[in-house]
Amino acid sequence: MKIKILLVLLPLLFLGLVSCKDNNSTSEKESKATTTKEKEIVPKVKNEVQVGEEKLVYKVSLGVLPDLAYKGEGMKVAKVHKDRPGFVGGLKDGDIITEINGKKIKDLIEYTRSLGIYKKGDSVEITIDRNGKTVKTKIVFD
């Protein structure tokens, strides 16, 4: 199960690492190596993830990083990236996504699977658990 989750997260984590990269803590040489490595990885992880025999393909993102330590129902958001659809739609760090357009989200794999049916410009209603309260918000994928 841990391998399956890692395979699902690789593209999501990669997108987050690119936008959250902290160059202050690395040397110029290390930074160039990271950039070269990123260029090698991008084509391999862009928009698809293999989970067992199933290939999950998605064209959109909320611009959030999942909380990998979360073991409950839904997909817990560790970080919402500024100016991305999740941020614009009001998602906050710590929110737990429980439904997308009425479809239950039981875990990170289901979350990733559900993104596969949407394209840029689509809007969805996201149901979240925020500190024990149910909140609904509308998000438009860019």
- Average pLDDT score, the chain: 76
Is 74 within 8 Å of 68 (Cβ atoms)? no
The CATH architecture annotation of domain 64-140 reads: Roll (2.30)
Instruction: Delimit the domains of the chain by residue range.
Output: 2-57, 64-140
* Predicted confidence (pLDDT) at residue 7 exceeds the cutoff of 60: no
Is 78 within 8 Å of 67 (Cβ atoms)? yes
* Predicted confidence (pLDDT) at residue 1 exceeds the cutoff of 90: no
Q: Is the pTM of this model over 0.85?
A: no
pLDDT band at residue 112 under the 50/70/90 scheme? confident
User: What DSSP assignment string belongs to 59-84?
Assistant: S---SEEE-TT--SSSEEEEEE-TTS
Q: Dihedral sign, CA of 59, 113, 52, 70?
A: positive
pLDDT digits (tens, 9 = 90+) for 12-35: 544 443 333 344 444 444 444 445
Is 99 within 8 Å of 41 (Cβ atoms)? no
